[in-house]
């Protein structure tokens, strides 16, 4: 099996997950420049907005980067695929929908494809459809989650055993110990969201970052179960009220209440009374706001140190 870092042409096996409409070129460039793989999130943005972001990112980095296309979330999928080809985007990550019709078009244009999945069944299907890499995302993760609710610890080794392409672990990883754990389960790298929110370069409200710093191990909640759209968010006035009342909302009202505008109000404006802040359960482990470079280098060093400590333990 080819190595993940060789497929992606990156130095460290650490990938930034797409983040709806809120992750921007500056954050993605910082991550790619630091040796990881930065990602532009397409969310519900228009092709013009995404084109502008790709152009900005290209000015900020010469390194590889990814664009995340959430298939059933964005209504301009055809135009987005054309943009990926026009700008020769090195890597596309496909989530939230059936990737099979899209993968061959991207491959014809030499674009590497990562598919985000939360089940063994979907991982096998994605490999059959031609995916180069599987991102296996457990239920600990921030944002929209699979209704299967399978955790990272259980999901990763099952997907690793079921496919023959590299697997990236996502959900619940924020430090070098998590990276080593992912390796132990058979993954070749990690994708993080929550940890990257609390970095200096992340373009989000300081209230959002501080809420992550102050979160404990049970300050995230799942909203949307009754609507078949599970999403992990930080506890706040808006999200607790959604949780309490979601069953009385119609599907349309609930979709409106959790759309990207409310994401921006929470994450960019820092207003937890009118918007939501996505976060994974790992928030309780995050106590600082490093630069992306400090974070990546620190994770790699901690991973190596932890491996050495385990070696010492085993050799006793």
Question: Does 224 sit near ligand FMN (CB under 6 A)?
Answer: no
What's the closest the beta carbon of residue 94 comes to ligand FMN, in angstroms? Answer: 8
Question: Does 36 sit near ligand FMN (CB under 6 A)?
Answer: no
Q: Which 112-171 residues touch ligand FMN, going by CB under 6 A? A: 116, 137, 140-143, 170-171
What's the closest the beta carbon of residue 238 comes to ligand FMN, in angstroms? Answer: 15
Nearer to ligand FMN, 137 or 201 (CB): 137
Q: How far apart are CA 52 and CA 172, in angstroms?
A: 32
| C-alpha dist (Å) from residue 150 to 16, 134, 156, 221, 303 | 21, 16, 10, 16, 25
What's the closest the beta carbon of residue 71 comes to ligand FMN, in angstroms? Answer: 10
Letters for 38-57 (x = contact with ligand FMN by CB under 6 A, - = none) are ---x-x--------------
Q: How far apart are CA 30 and CA 253, in angstroms?
A: 37
Q: Which stretch binds ligand FMN (CB under 6 A): 54-62, 121-129, 157-165, 185-193?
A: 185-193
Q: How far apart are CA 54 and CA 290, in angstroms?
A: 25
Question: Does 99 sit near ligand FMN (CB under 6 A)?
Answer: no
Q: Which 296-315 residues touch ligand FMN, going by CB under 6 A? A: none
Apex 265 CA angle, 261 and 270, nearest 5: 160
Q: How far apart are CA 121 and CA 142, in angstroms?
A: 22
Question: Does 70 sit near ligand FMN (CB under 6 A)?
Answer: yes
Nearer to ligand FMN, 24 or 191 (CB): 191
Question: Does 280 sit near ligand FMN (CB under 6 A)?
Answer: yes
Pick from 192, 212, 289, 295: which binds ligand FMN (CB under 6 A)?
A: 192
Q: 297: helix, coil or strand? A: helix
List % helix, strand, coil for the chain (3-state, nearest 5). Answer: 45, 15, 40
Q: End-to-end CA distance of the chain: give it in Å, rounded.
A: 33
Nearer to ligand FMN, 40 or 59 (CB): 40
Token duo for residue 292: 């992306």
Q: How far apart are CA 236 and CA 238, in angstroms?
A: 6
Question: Does 191 sit near ligand FMN (CB under 6 A)?
Answer: yes
Question: Does 35 sit near ligand FMN (CB under 6 A)?
Answer: no
Taken in order 121, 122, 124, 128, the sign of the CA dihedral is positive
Locus of tokens 């932890």: 306
Binding residues for ligand FMN, per CB under 6 A? Answer: 17-20, 22, 41, 43, 68, 70, 95, 116, 137, 140-143, 170-173, 191-195, 197, 267, 278, 280, 282
């Amino acid at each position: 099996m080819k190595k993940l870092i060789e497929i992606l042409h990156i130095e460290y096996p650490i990938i930034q997950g797409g983040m709806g409409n809120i992750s921007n070129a500056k954050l993605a460039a910082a991550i790619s420049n630091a040796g990881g793989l930065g990602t532009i999130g397409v969310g519900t943005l228009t092709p013009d907005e995404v084109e502008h972001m790709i152009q900005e990112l290209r000015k900020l980095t010469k390194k590889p980067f990814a664009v995340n296309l959430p298939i059933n979330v964005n209504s301009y999928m055809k135009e987005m695929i054309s943009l990926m080809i026009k700008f020769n985007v090195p890597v596309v990550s496909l989530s939230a929908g059936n990737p099979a019709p899209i993968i061959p078009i991207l491959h014809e244009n030499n674009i590497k494809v990562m598919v985000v999945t939360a089940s063994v069944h979907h991982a096998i299907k994605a490999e059959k459809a031609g995916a180069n890499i599987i991102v296996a995302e457990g239920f600990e993760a921030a944002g929209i989650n699979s209704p299967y609710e399978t955790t990272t610890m259980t999901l990763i080794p099952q997907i690793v055993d079921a496919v023959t392409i590299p697997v990236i672990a996502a959900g619940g990883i924020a430090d070098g110990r998590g990276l080593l754990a992912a390796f132990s389960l058979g993954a070749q790298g990690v994708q993080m969201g929550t940890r990257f929110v609390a970095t200096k370069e992340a373009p989000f409200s300081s209230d959002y970052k501080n809420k992550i710093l102050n979160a404990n191990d049970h300050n995230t909640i799942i909203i949307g179960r009754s609507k078949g759209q599970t999403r992990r968010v930080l506890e706040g006035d808006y999200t607790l009220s959604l949780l309490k009342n979601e069953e009385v909302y119609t599907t349309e009202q609930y979709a409106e209440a959790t759309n990207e505008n409310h994401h921006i109000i929470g994450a960019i404006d820092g207003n937890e009374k009118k918007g939501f802040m996505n976060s994974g359960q790992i928030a309780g482990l995050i106590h600082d706001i490093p630069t992306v470079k400090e974070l990546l280098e620190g994770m790699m060093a901690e991973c190596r140190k932890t491996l050495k400590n385990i070696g010492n333990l085993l050799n006793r």
